[in-house]
């Protein structure tokens, strides 16, 4: 699931490049041409964020293989600096542990981080008032508002939701 979320985020970032921006020194802003998704991974003694380089350009299969390799290297403490310090956007998925919602802390220099909660069956009503049960997950984004405004985040989240709700798009 983490790879699908990373791919969906990368696809949404391609459409909303301001959310992929960064500020390394507190003064100058960079609009990154690469979409490098850093993903939080628990390791003995802490946390590290291996980076899926150019996540928007890789298909799900290659992204999945790269992710398995990065997690293995992270857990054996063999990541190279460019494999954990080159993220342009971070994804933290505590949903895999059953956590419904949480707030993620923005890594220094990055413009935004996305916190993803667990997918849960939820009763919903359609426009005609008919009820059904759909899987829903809570997602929120913490951002540096010197770089990214709330309206930009809202547009990014709408695009992300459309991609997740239509997963066929993830295989293109």
> Residues of 150-172 as b/e, b for ≥16 C-beta within 10 angstroms?
eebbebbbebbeebbeeeeebee
For the chain, where are the E strands, in sequence order?
22-23, 29-30, 37-39, 41-43, 46-48, 51-52, 89-93, 112-125, 131-143
Write down the number of H helices and E strands in the chain.
3, 9
Active site residue 145: yes
The catalytically annotated residue of 24, 68, 134, 145 is: 145
In Å, the largest CA–CA distance within the chain is 55
Q: Which residues are catalytic?
A: 145
């Amino acid at each position: 699931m983490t790879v699908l979320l990373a791919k969906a985020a990368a696809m949404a970032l391609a459409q909303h490049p301001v959310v992929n921006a960064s500020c390394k020194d507190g003064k100058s802003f960079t609009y990154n041409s690469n979409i490098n998704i850093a993903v939080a991974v628990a390791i003995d003694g802490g946390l590290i964020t291996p980076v899926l380089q150019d996540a928007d350009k890789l298909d799900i299969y290659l992204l999945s293989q790269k992710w398995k390799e990065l997690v293995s290297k992270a857990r054996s403490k063999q990541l190279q600096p460019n494999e954990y310090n080159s993220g342009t956007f971070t994804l933290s998925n505590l949903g895999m542990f059953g956590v419904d919602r949480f707030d993620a802390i923005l890594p220094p220099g990055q413009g935004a981080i996305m916190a993803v909660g667990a997918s849960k069956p939820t009763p919903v009503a359609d426009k005609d008032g008919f009820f059904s049960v759909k899987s829903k997950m809570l997602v929120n984004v913490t951002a540096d508002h010197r770089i990214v405004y709330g309206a930009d985040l809202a547009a990014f989240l709408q695009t992300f939701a459309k991609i997740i709700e239509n997963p066929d798009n993830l295989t293109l």
